[in-house]
Structure 1
Amino acid sequence: MIKNLYITIFVIGSSLLLMVAFSGEQSESVESNKDLIKFSHSLHNELVDCADCHSTVAESISLNDRLLPNHDNCVNCHEVDNDAECSTCHINDNYEPLIQKKPELIYNHKIHAVQGLQCIDCHKGLDKVDYSFESAELNPPMENCSGCHNEVKIASNACESCHISTNYLKPQNHRNVDFERSHKFLAWELNANCMMCHDNTTCQDCHVATTGITEMNLPDDFYAPYYPSNSVDGAKQQAILKVHDDFGYRFSHGIDAKGKTNECQSCHQIETFCASCHQSENTDFAMGGIVPSSHLLPTFKTIGVGTGGGDHARLARRDIESCVSCHDVQGADPTCITCHLDSDGILGTNPKTHVSNYMKDERGDWHDTQASMCYNCHTSASPMSQQTSGFCNYCHGM
């Protein structure tokens, strides 16, 4: 009886192993489209347009749509009904549909196509490879998207706008066991981009720099980075209090801010942190809160045609960072571009912002990146901007 039981278990186990092995071989045989079909993007690129093969893309509103070509797309050039020609494209008589990856993004091809974007604007390098997955530039990097997804006026840059799940966006080094102890070294690196996801409130979850000093919590007891820490209510105290150790610092911090002896923005987000004291009833807090003495002078003109801008222009040219410490130049309350905005693309119709001979030649970073400072004021050169006028039209006459 026991022997028969062992034999039965062995037979069932062996059968399961064979089934798993067989299914594994089947899945390996169709691991990629390279195992299904012979194809070269570089060859077809010279003969047909992208839309000739990917005919459904122009009307697609989701990456779940079937975006890969089928026989109906091939029939214009290939004899798909001639059995002798099948091996020209199909490998080992395998006629399974092409594999389309499960999407990880939310993307609407149709809305981008309507705005004038071309396939090559996002999918670069396909003219140099056979299979799309061989191209390092198949999918556009995020910096390309930021030309429009900049949270200014065109599209949101919230992660959830495009990413189905944000879990896989977590960098690999964040998964290290000792990341809580080692993240300070990563933040020091020149290419650190912590602010992509975090702001100063993230740090304050652990580094409670704003906790008030008490008689049991004197300056010498505060946690200094990279040394053993004390705890107050279970939270570590950051060494920022070693910098702001003056009890009257809230009244004298303006001196440091103006003298730039401290980089306030390293820890504080101006629009939220400063506004907690400099209140202005949900408007530009500099206009309703504490106003610099320079703004009260009769020569300080914000609107004055023919004045050259007065003191406000002179001060801005001398120290634009001082202006930015209160005024939001390109966000939800874009103070400067209320007036300094080239929206019509016509020379001479907007306030002068440049000194004479400011442009030494025709080359500049405005040709290479939409992160150019020029686009803070000038009509964007992106496909969603004016296509027959605007900034580019000054020289190119589009």
Structure 2
Amino acid sequence: MPHRPNRTVLLGLAALSLLVGAGVAWAATGRERSLAVYPAQHMPLRFDHAQHLEAGAECVTCHDAARTSQSPKDRNLPGHEECETCHDIDAARKGKPTDPPSSCTTCHPGFDPTVRMEPAKLLVPPANLRFSHQQHVEKKVDCTVCHGEMKDVQLATRQQLPKMATCFTCHDGNVASNTCKSCHPTEASGRLRLTFDSGLLRPMQGNPLGLDHGPRYEFNHGPRATVDRLTCQQCHSESYCQTCHDGMQKPLSVHPNDFITLHPVQARAGTTRCESCHRAQSFCVACHERTGVGMDADASLRPRNLKVHPDYQAWVEIIGPQHHGIAASRDIGSCISCHREESCTSCHSSLSTRRQVNPHPAGFAQACKRLAGANDRACLKCHTPESLAEKGCR
């Protein structure tokens, strides 16, 4: 009795085949053409480019209209008129022998004129590009430069349409323009149009700019956006970036789980990165107050087993290495994550009813008039115009 694999083995093999197939499909994306640039085609034809080239045909024999074409919307494919140069279609329709073969089924497999009068139609949508064949012909660009050698190609498909890397051999900024707008349609804003009926325009694997917008790109696009922001702005506006970076709603893919516990380490290491999304005085302070960390938090929320600052005497009263003024002068960013400006002015303002501690160093009065004369907005946070005049700062 032959051995029959059990159901678990069959399922495992099926899963493995799916994974292998997905891997092959993913690897092939580097050679694929973007549907947003070249929409899908349907070409129910039988044709052999290699055979026609061997017979002495040239590109312009069948595609003569391409020499004067100025738009991708032009249909530069041969019709019966071009085919009849060599194929006697009328004789074949009458049942006469022809050489080369010229019956309908020579090019339209499965077509039976007794069943229907017209063969299946070709669907070849125009490319979503700005392009002029005529301009390239006038520049003496050979057809094979963009479409490759056809001597081994039967029916040409989207695979014979040029990729951006091919275009960049000439469009290098010297021989021809290399700006995105040279070839790609734009919106009224001047940015590239990204959405088409056939797909979404996005850089694919193997693109010459090295901007593969694959599944992980949202996690590693930051460094590239930092060093090459102008390239990003060809497609994306600041408002597009702010949909994730405004700090109003945290995308679950940005921070790991339990990030609230871990975020102080990263905040201390790179506050600039945090501030690209979050404002310390509105986002950080408000959250810290709600959770009992901030100075103005409700007393019932404050933890009883945690201590942020040194003892009160060393932190407030005694001028020394642990004094809060020294810490603030070194890293005011850490202070403003929990304290608002009012926290400082409650003691360091001449308007305070709590206590008035002069924060200025010795000899500051000699420079106050010059500083206030340049910009007294900072002065008026703690002083009235009258008190500034009394001190000789006005």
TM-score by length of 1: 0.38
Structure scoring higher RCO (CA < 8 A, sep ≥ 6) equals 2
- Point out the structure with max Rg over C-alpha: 2
